[in-house]
Amino acid sequence: MTGPSGRTQGEDLHREVGDTGVTLEDLVQEALAAREMAYAPHSGFKVGAAVLTPGGRVYRGANVESASYPLTNCAERVAVQKAVSEGERSVLAVAVAADASYLRSKRAAQGPAAAPGAARGPGGAAGEVGSGEAELDLFVTPCGACRQVIFEFGPDAVVVLADLEGGRCVTSARRLLPGGFRLEATER
């Protein structure tokens, strides 16, 4: 879905992923719905994720916080682990949905030179798609542990980052985790 430059076109969100019958925008809508189930009483920061497998199944996940922060589970890992616990061993695409307004507020406070492109993509309008470094900085991205788990089951997975205002950023597991760690699995 993305070319060598990492750029994508808005219509790519509405193309079927593989032969699954699911589009990236469908996956984003699942992630937004999953976000509503988040348990975030300590931070108030809700994240939803949705994972698409080669068979066309979608697994949702939401972050689940604990008063003991190291025991908190991120939405992305919850979604991947739900898929794996149901027998899946491969991930085609992942969508992550979160409120990224604080990132845009921070960028705006730094002045226009700090915000090349625009807040939501190359043109800045809601619903536009971006995938450059400037755009990636304006979306909530998976943490390092989640990047590794996504890479484990989908090194070539497409990753869509979505905000609550309609902005989208399409990237990949390899771009989020260059040189990701892999062991040759003895069982898949």
Q: Is 76 assigned a catalytic role?
A: yes
In SS3 terms, the chain reads as CCCCCCCCCHHHHHCECCCCCCEHHHHHHHHHHHHCCCECCCCCCCEEEEEECCCCCEEEEECECCCCHHHCECHHHHHHHHHHHCCCCCCCEEEEEECCHHHHHHHHHCCHHHCCCCCCCCCCCCCCEECCHHHHCCCCCCCHHHHHHHHHHCCCCEEEEECCCCCEEEEEHHHHCCCCCCCCCCCC
Both tokens of 70, joined, read 């190291």
| Active-site residue identified among 30, 65, 76, 135 | 76
The residues carrying an active-site annotation are 76
